[in-house]
Amino acid sequence: MRVLVTAGPTREYLDDVRYLSNASSGKMGYAIVAAGLKIGWDMVLVSGPVDLQPPVGCEFHSVMTTGEMRSETMNLFPDCDGVIAAAAVCDYKPKERITGKISKTGGAIQLEMIETDDVLAELGTVKENRWVVGFALEAQNPRENALQKLRKKNCDLIVLNHPDAIGSQSNSVELINSDGETEEHWTGAKSEVAAELTNWLSKRMS
Ligand code: CTP
């Protein structure tokens, strides 16, 4: 099994020195890559900027922006059997990136923001016989929102977690299928949750 994993945050630059991003540590995605390697999968990691070493033995692709994550994953996906999208992708970017550095004006400034590409949704549209597992980070109406995301992005399964997971060592997740049923609940260190998820997928998706 050859599996693509997206991990970490992406960055969207306002000018050459400032960017928008989020506090994702990349730990969940990196733990999934390590767990996949342990069960003998070939792992392809596309990661935004994080403070972690790529697990030894994976194929590593470093990206910065959402657009870069999109183009790397779209190139790599055709040679994979499935994808697990654990990245905390930046949903908006400034309409324009200023060359150089925006100077202070002494007053408020306004930024016009536009949506970035939805990497997972694009993978979902080209998946054919490959499997697609998304993540859903939900603060309210978690199950309904997660199922809506699964359907909108053409996923086979979605891993529901809570914003508390961002930057944490542990996680508590629910694995939801396309009928909206909860297949599994796992709580523990991200490495333990990752091992449960990869073991489950290796039994069901082979
Ligand atoms: N995702 C993605 N590209 C984006 C946004 C999200 O690939 N531009 C992926 C994430 O990696 C995750 C899933 O889509 O697997 C859901 O991400 P989440 O942040 O929970 O939801 P969003 O689709 O961004 O929607 P919202 O922020 O409104 O909840």
Tens of pLDDT along the chain (206 residues)? Answer: 999 999 999 999 999 999 999 999 999 999 999 999 999 999 999 999 999 999 999 999 999 999 999 999 999 999 999 999 999 999 999 999 999 999 988 999 899 999 999 999 999 999 999 999 999 999 999 999 999 999 999 999 999 998 888 888 888 999 999 999 999 999 999 999 999 999 999 999 97
Range of the domain at 10: 2-96+110-204
From 20, 32, 149, give the residue whose CB has the most ligand 1 atoms within 8 Å, as the site to mutate: 149
Q: Are 83 and 77 in contact (CB under 8 A)?
A: yes
Token pair for residue 157? 């399964």
What is the pLDDT, as a whole number, of residue 197?
A: 98
Report the residue among 5, 122, 137 best suited for mutation to probe ligand 1: largest number of ligand atoms under 8 A from its CB: 137
In a domain, 102, yes or no: no
CATH code where residue 16 lies? 3.40.50.10300
Catalytic positions, written as ranges: 22
Question: How many structural domains are present in the chain?
Answer: 1
Ligand 1 mean position, distance from CA 136 (Å)? 7
pTM for the model stands at 0.97
Within-domain flag for 58: yes
pLDDT score for 46: 98
pLDDT at 188 (0 to 100): 96
Query: Residue 77 corresponds to which tokens in the numbers above?
Result: 């996906």
CA distance 54 to 60: 7
Q: Is residue 121 part of a domain?
A: yes
Helix axes 190-204, 27-38, angle to 10 degrees: 50
Looking from the CA of residue 158, the nearest atom of ligand 1 is: 15
- Which of 5, 73, 118 is the best mutation target for the ligand 1 pocket, counting ligand atoms within 8 Å of the beta carbon and taking the most? 118
Is residue 188 domain-resident?
yes
Kindly report, residue by residue over 106-120, the tens digit of the pLDDT.
999 899 999 999 999
Domain for residue 76, yes or no? yes
Using an 8 Å Cβ cutoff, are 166 and 24 in contact?
yes
pLDDT of residue 163: 87
Q: Which residues contact 20 (CB under 8 A, 6 or more apart)?
A: 11, 12, 14, 90, 92, 93, 94
Rounded distance from Cα 180 to ligand 1 centre (Å): 18
Closest by alpha carbon to 133, among 162, 163, 161, 153?
A: 153
Pocket residues: Cβ below 6 A from ligand 1: 6, 66, 85, 87, 89, 91, 116, 118-120, 134-137, 149
Give the side-chain half-sphere CA count within 13 A for 102. 18
Distance 106 CA to ligand 1 centre (A): 36
105 is a domain residue: no
The pLDDT score that the predictor gives to residue 168 is 85
Q: What is the DSSP string of 110-161?
A: ---EEE---HHHHHHHT-TTSEEEEEEE-SSSHHHHHHHHHHHTT-SEEEEE
**Cβ-Cβ contacts under 8 Å for 38 (sequence gap 6 or more):** 195, 198
Ligand 1 atom nearest 88 alpha carbon: 11
Residue 47: the pLDDT is 98
In a domain, 104, yes or no: no
Residue 127 lies in a domain: yes
Atom number, ligand 1, closest to the C-alpha of residue 146:
20
